[in-house]
Amino acid sequence: MIPTVRAAAFAVAAFAFAGAALLGGPVQAQVLGVPASVAAFAQSVGLADEAHSVQPAERRSLDELVVDYAAAETDGAEQDCLANAVYFEARGEALQGQLAVAEVVMNRAASGRYPASLCAVIVQHAQFSFVRHGHIPQADHGSEAWRRAVGVARVAVEGMAPRLLPTNCLWYHADYVSPSWGQRLAETTQIGRHIFYS
């Protein structure tokens, strides 16, 4: 379930549990199909951590999410392409800067102005400086930077963290260069060493 649906399901079950307890305690709660405790319900739908305390995804920091989803391998070609973009374009940036780069790639794919897949956006001619003749170079999959890039890509694709950029933000460049196209666009924000534009 997506986090908001899961949180809503938790709220409904908690309400049902409280009502069932007033009507006769745990026996009635079981009759209504609600576990005998809210913590047990939270555990059953994946809203509780190992200590059985509820911690919705919305309250977890980007750092925590990336640590949880960091890995040596991605979940498919599209996520792999996005992780490569994060790795090659922003591995020296803080996680917010890496997430912002991922958001630009996803914004482009959703915009209708660029190819519709993440991989096609990334390998498009003259768009990302790390791409050579339409090919993505090999990242160091044994590095911590790669594992973080995979975590950032997963968090971005699954929408687990609050967005940093508006959906019309389609461009960025490093703050140590001044491309002519930047003068024609509206600067949105700067995150780390990258300036983002709509």
Instruction: Indicate which CATH number applies to the domain containing 160.
Output: 1.10.10.2520
Give 22 or 122, the one with higher predicted confidence. Answer: 122
Residues 67, 164 share a domain: yes
Is residue 63 within 8 Å of residue 99, measured between CB atoms?
A: no
What 3 state SS string does 124-192 have? CCCCCCCCECCECCCCCCCCHHHHHHHHHHHHHHCCCCCCCCCCCCCEEEECCCCCHHHHHCCEEEEEC
Mind listing the pLDDT tens digit for each residue in 44-53? Answer: 434 444 433 3
Residues 73, 138 share a domain: yes
Structure tokens at 50: 């190992």
| Model pLDDT, residue 157 | 97
Residues 95, 174 share a domain: yes
Residue 173 has pLDDT above 60, yes or no: yes
Mind listing the pLDDT tens digit for each residue in 118-129? Answer: 999 999 999 999
Residue 71 has pLDDT above 80, yes or no: yes
Residues 127, 89 share a domain: yes
Residues 99, 35 share a domain: no
Give 78 or 23, the one with higher predicted confidence. Answer: 78
| Model pLDDT, residue 58 | 52
Mind listing the pLDDT tens digit for each residue in 104-144? Answer: 999 999 999 999 999 999 999 999 999 999 999 999 999 99
Residues 69, 19 share a domain: no
Stretch 99-105: mean pLDDT, rounded? 98
Residues 162, 92 share a domain: yes
CA-atom Rg of the chain in angstroms: 21
Is residue 193 within 8 Å of residue 100, measured between CB atoms?
A: no
| Model pLDDT, residue 59 | 74
Domain that holds residue 70: 63-197
Residues 22, 77 share a domain: no
Number of domains forming the structure of the chain: 2
pLDDT band at 21 (very low <50, low <70, confident <90, very high): very low
